[in-house]
Chains A and B, each alone.
Chain A
Amino acid sequence: MKLIISNTSGIPIYEQIKQQIKAAILSGELKEEEALPSLRTLAKELKISVLTVTRAYTELEQEGFVKNVQGRGCFVMGRDSGLVREQLLLKVEAGLTEAITASKIARLSKEELHHLLDILLEANADE
């Protein structure tokens, strides 16, 4: 997993860590049950505060992405865990909404849009 901290983005460091770990979980790059880097190792490697990493991990746990096992570390939750699934659904919704908006501009009918989705689904299934 790639984790980079930007000093100029204006986004707090804990938030940057959270976003990147979330993205890695949602994309499947981080698999279920996989361990996140140890808190203190990550802090050392990125040369950031231990408390900053703690905050990122705690919030990820509250949002249901990871599970903290006392003394063993932080593990990725399954993608069917309610909250992760919710996030994925939101992502699908957002993508579809964008497609609908674009199809309105392109004056596609409802049927044409459905048809297009079916073609894409088939093409994707072949891969």
Chain B
Amino acid sequence: MSNYLEVKDLSKSFGNFHLKNINFTLPKGYIMGLIGPNGSGKTTTIKLILNMLKRDEGEIKIFGLDNIGDEQKIKYDLGVVFDSSYFCGEWRITQVRNTMSDFYPSWDTGRFSEFLRRFRIPQEKKVKELSRGMQMKLMLASAFAHRPKLLILDEPTGGLDPVSRDELLQLLSEYIEDGEHSVLFSTHVTGDLERVADYITYINDGQLFFSGGKDEFMDMFRIVKGGTYELTPLLSEKALGIRKFSTGFEALVKTQDLAGFPSLCAEPASIDEIIVFTNKRGENDE
């Protein structure tokens, strides 16, 4: 089975938020970044995958199995890290270990201790006494301790300093090196992802904007820049987002439309820029 995660036509509504027809596939051996601004539906998607929310429509398969029908079987092979600790704050690290080892038949205490050492997590502390970054690392150590095949991380880099972020990316690269493990990783700090992710799924306001190879995603767009007089009606129409200022403008266009504007200065767009500009449609900054 070559796909570790398949999401088909996934929909969920609550109140005035609608997640609509989300489709993506994560093959075995790769890292996928789930990106989008706050409130776009990243965490909802992850909760639906983990069956922590009930989907309205669609299908989710993990390791080729239904995420609800075979939930327990799937979860033995799944490691999960959230943006805030899911352990009881009063627990000491030893209690985390004892509790988690009861749930996972494949739990490896040696491996857990190894990660605690690697992350320099003091063993005698209570969970609530750890910093946010340390709590994230504790979840990661506990996830790695049962040797999951798929790791799902929701905003893991949120509370991390640059050194810890780099460590995390290093770990994820090591984790997938053998081609038998995959990572789904939601974030709005896209800088790190830009290098390490193989696939990007971009959700914007509950809708799927793009899912596919990261290089392909970044090749699809260019930033063009020019003086105010160069902003023609055609360009305004083609642009996915425009930022105007007193001496000129910057706009995001599709690379395929670039040929129409040969005189403008064009450069590759970062993932951040793509997200920012695709959220500005119709707005004009002064």
- The chain A residues found within 8 Å of chain B, CB to CB, are 10, 12-14, 40-41, 43-44, 47-52, 55
* Cβ B169 vs Cβ A49 within 8 A: no
User: Within 8 Å CB of B213, what residues of A?
Assistant: 51
User: Within 8 Å CB of B169, what residues of A?
Assistant: 47
Binding stretch for chain A, among B102-110, B131-139, B145-153, B191-199 = B191-199
B4 within 8 A of A: no
Q: Which residue of A lies closest to B197 (CB)?
A: A49
Taking A51-B199, A51-B215, A52-B198 as known contacts, 11 extra A-B pairs with beta carbons closer than 8 A to each other, sorted by chain A number, are A12-B219, A12-B268, A40-B176, A44-B174, A47-B169, A47-B170, A47-B196, A48-B195, A50-B176, A51-B198, A52-B215
Q: Which residue of B lies closest to A51 (CB)?
A: B198
Knowing A13-B195, A49-B197, A51-B215, the reply to whether A40 touches B178 (Cβ < 8 A) is yes
The number of inter-chain residue pairs (CB within 8 angstroms) is 47
Pick the contact of B215: A10, A14, A43, A44 (CB < 8 A).
A14
Whole-angstrom distance between the Cβ of A70 and the nearest chain B Cβ: 14
CB contacts under 8 Å to A, within B9-31, are: 29-31
Whole-angstrom distance between the Cβ of A98 and the nearest chain B Cβ: 30
* Cβ B30 vs Cβ A50 within 8 A: yes
Q: Which residue of A lies closest to B218 (CB)?
A: A12
- 25 A/B residue pairs, CB under 8 Å, sorted by A: A10-B268, A12-B215, A12-B268, A40-B177, A40-B178, A41-B177, A43-B173, A44-B173, A44-B174, A44-B177, A47-B169, A47-B170, A47-B196, A48-B195, A48-B196, A49-B195, A49-B214, A49-B215, A50-B29, A50-B30, A50-B31, A51-B30, A51-B199, A52-B214, A52-B215
User: Within 8 Å CB of A40, what residues of B?
Assistant: 29, 176-179
Bound complex: CA A41 to CA B214 (Å): 19
- The chain B residues found within 8 Å of chain A, CB to CB, are 29-31, 169-170, 173-174, 176-179, 195-199, 213-215, 219, 267-268
Bound complex: CA A13 to CA B218 (Å): 12
Bound complex: CA A55 to CA B213 (Å): 11
User: Within 8 Å CB of B196, what residues of A?
Assistant: 47-49
Whole-angstrom distance between the Cβ of B94 and the nearest chain A Cβ: 32
Whole-angstrom distance between the Cβ of B85 and the nearest chain A Cβ: 27
Bound complex: CA A41 to CA B179 (Å): 10
* Cβ A49 vs Cβ B179 within 8 A: no
Bound complex: CA A10 to CA B198 (Å): 19
Whole-angstrom distance between the Cβ of B218 and the nearest chain A Cβ: 8
Interface centre among A41, A43, A49, A52 (most CB of B within 10 A): A49
Bound complex: CA A57 to CA B177 (Å): 17
User: Within 8 Å CB of B197, what residues of A?
Assistant: 49
Bound complex: CA A13 to CA B268 (Å): 12
Bound complex: CA A10 to CA B267 (Å): 8
User: Within 8 Å CB of A52, what residues of B?
Assistant: 198, 214-215
User: Within 8 Å CB of A43, what residues of B?
Assistant: 173, 177
User: Within 8 Å CB of B198, what residues of A?
Assistant: 49-52
User: Within 8 Å CB of A49, what residues of B?
Assistant: 31, 195-198, 214-215
Bound complex: CA A119 to CA B267 (Å): 47
Whole-angstrom distance between the Cβ of B14 and the nearest chain A Cβ: 34
Bound complex: CA A50 to CA B213 (Å): 11
Bound complex: CA A49 to CA B216 (Å): 12
* Cβ B177 vs Cβ A51 within 8 A: no
User: Within 8 Å CB of B195, what residues of A?
Assistant: 13, 47-49
Bound complex: CA A35 to CA B22 (Å): 41
Q: Which residue of A lies closest to B169 (CB)?
A: A47
Bound complex: CA A49 to CA B33 (Å): 11
User: Within 8 Å CB of A55, what residues of B?
Assistant: 215
